[in-house]
Each structure stands twice: as C-alpha cells, then as structure tokens.
Amino acid sequence: MLFGILGVTLIAVALQLAPFWLSRPVKPSEDDKISGSIIAEFDPKESISFTSKAPLFQGMLRNVKDYTPLNEEIFNEQGYQEVLDYLKTAKPEDLKQSVKGVNYNNYFADTQKLRGEVVTIIGLIIRTGPVRLPKPVSGTSGNIEFMYRTYLVDTSGTEGYVIDLVEKPGKFEFRKDVVKVKGIFYKMVTYEGKKGNEKEVPLSIGIRLEPFINEFQAARSSMKDAVTIIALIMVAMFVLGFGGYFIIRLFSNRLIKSKNSISKKDTSSK
C-alpha cells in the first residue's frame, strides 16, 4: 500500500514537471533566418525588404570602393570611420531592425543597396583576433583601441563572412560553435586564403558576437534536463521504496517481538 502511494505521488510530480522541462522554445525570428545556409529557411527568390527608405548612412558611403584588400588601410577610409563613429556609442539593441530576405548572393549582386544597412549573420566561427586602430576612438565604455576581426562561414564551408567587432568576443570553440551577429554591411573585400587563392567576402562592422541556439539545439538541451530530472525521480523512488521497506520490516520485527514477549508473559503467569 505504501509503495503504491509513493509511486503514484512521484509519477504525478514527474508529469507536472515534464511539460516545463520539455517545453519547446520559441521558433527563431525572421532575423535568425538571414545570411547563411546553416539555417536555410529563407526563400532565395524573395526580394530584399529594407527596414526604412533612408539607411543610416545614406550618402555617406557613396564613394566606398569594393573588392579592396582586407588590411589595416580600411580603418583610414572615411566610410569606415563614419560607421565606427555611429557604433562606438550604439548598443546591440540599436541594431535590432535588419534587412529581411538576404542571401549570400545579394552581397555580390546588390552591394550598393545593402551598403550601410543592418544585416544579421549566422555561421560557424573560424577565428577572431584584435587589429589595432590607427588611433583610439572614444566610446561609451572607454577608448576603443582594437577592432576584433572575426571570420565566419556557413556549414557548407562555401559562404564566408568577415565582421569587425567593437567588443572582444567571448570564449568560442573555433569551427564548432555557431554564432550570431548583427552588423552594418560596409563593403566587399578580398583576402588571400590558406591555399593562396583570393577570396571575395562581405565585410560588416558590428558590436557584439553572441552564441546562436536554434530550436533543435534548445529542445535537445531541454530534453537532457528532463532526462536528468526523471533519473533523479527514479533514484528518489528507489531510495524511498527501500527505505520504506526496511522501516516496515523494522517495525514489523519489533511488533512481532513485542507480541512474543507478551505471549511469554501470559504463559508464565498461567
């Protein structure tokens, strides 16, 4: 009887906790479906949807030249300085609104349209490192002396991105961790790959790199937590079951001894 009550009670608790631990996260927003086949949920035929008719840097980036080498000389370009001048006092939430429906080919075919617009990039982090600015720039949290040049790639390994970050990225495992960043698309640049071939990639300028957890990863994490909870409940049932069994045996033995003692006294008195 006692085991039945304990079992029913623990099963009821498990059923109450299961929906909480197994609840599926909110699906990725439209911004999470932008740039990179790692998500690949956008329609490549969909036209670009701009957030406003007046980009942040309308006119200021008109003379930016594309397909120049990716080196420190970029810091001296007036267009780069204009973007950095905006980002040095901005917050990541200021880049909330980004262009919709962007795929990798748009950076090549619609370079002028995208320039100065906020884009969302999702991909594997390949490497990152500091590059010193010609002179420090005064920002909200102090002087900015370095830009953290970060290389990202989609899971196919064919779509590469470079983004210069104001904030130093946290600890990420290269070629394994999936990250997300919002930045301002600046220009197309070239750099020499490891095999000596010239690569053409979009360069954006952003503030902060964040880990990206999609719906599947979040659900898998919740499932692990649920399994842990169920395992703990089973251990508790085991402990309580055996504990209850030994307690009952103990009281039963004492009761039997007590009855035997009383019987012996009655027999001796007769």
Tell me if 144 sits within 8 A of 137, measured CB to CB. Answer: yes
217 lies in some domain? no
- Whether residues 132 and 196 share a domain: the answer is yes
With CA atoms as reference, report the closest residue to 147 among 70, 68, 60: 70
What is the predicted pLDDT for the residue at 252? 65
The 10s digit of each residue's pLDDT in 117-137 is 999 999 999 999 999 999 999
CA dist 134 to 71, 81, 137, 163, 165, Å? 12, 11, 9, 18, 16
Which residues of the chain have a pLDDT value below 70?
A: 1-56, 58, 214-247, 249-270
Element (H, E) at 202: strand 198-206
208 & 243 share domain: no
Are residues 17 and 36 located together in one domain of the fold? no
Residues 242 and 187 in one domain: no
Three-state secondary structure string covering 7-36: HHHHHHHHHHHHHHHHCCCCCCCHHHHCCC
Are the C-beta atoms of residues 98 and 119 closer than 8 Å to each other?
A: yes
pLDDT at 33: 41
Judge whether 121 lies within some domain: yes
So what's the pLDDT on residue 140?
80
Residue 270 forms part of a structural domain:
no
Q: Give how many domains the chain has, as a whole number.
A: 2
179 and 248 belong to one structural domain = no
- Assess contact for 204 and 184: CB atoms under 8 A: yes
Same domain, 201 and 75: yes
| pLDDT per residue as tens digits for the range 181-200 | 999 999 999 998 888 889 99
Q: Give me the helix-helix angle, 2-22 and 215-269, nearest 10°.
A: 170
DSSP state of 47: P
Q: Whole-angstrom Cα distance, residue 184 to residue 190?
A: 18
| Residue 159 and residue 47 in one domain | yes
**Residue 33 covered by a domain:** yes
Position 141 scores a pLDDT of: 78
Buried-exposed string 43-66: b where 16+ CB fall within 10 A, e elsewhere? eeeeeeebeeeebbbeebbeebeb
- In this structure, are 47 and 174 located in the same domain? yes
CA distances from 128 to 72, 106, 141, 202, 266 (A): 15, 25, 21, 16, 90
Please check whether residue 163 lies inside any domain of the structure. yes
**Domain co-membership, 111 together with 9:** no
Angle at 165 between CA 41 and CA 211, to 5 degrees: 45
According to the model, what pLDDT value does residue 144 have? Answer: 94
| Whole-structure pTM value | 0.64
Judgement on whether residues 150 and 250 belong to the same structural domain of the protein: no
Q: Could you give the 3-state DSSP secondary structure of residue 149?
A: strand
Q: Are residues 243 and 147 in the same domain?
A: no
Whole domain around residue 98: which residue ranges?
A: 26-212
Residue 24: predicted pLDDT:
43
The rounded Cα 20 to chain-centroid distance in angstroms is 21
Q: What confidence tens digit (pLDDT) does each residue in 217-248 have?
A: 444 444 455 556 666 666 666 656 655 666 67
| 82 & 184 share domain | yes
Residue 269 lies inside a defined structural domain of this protein: no
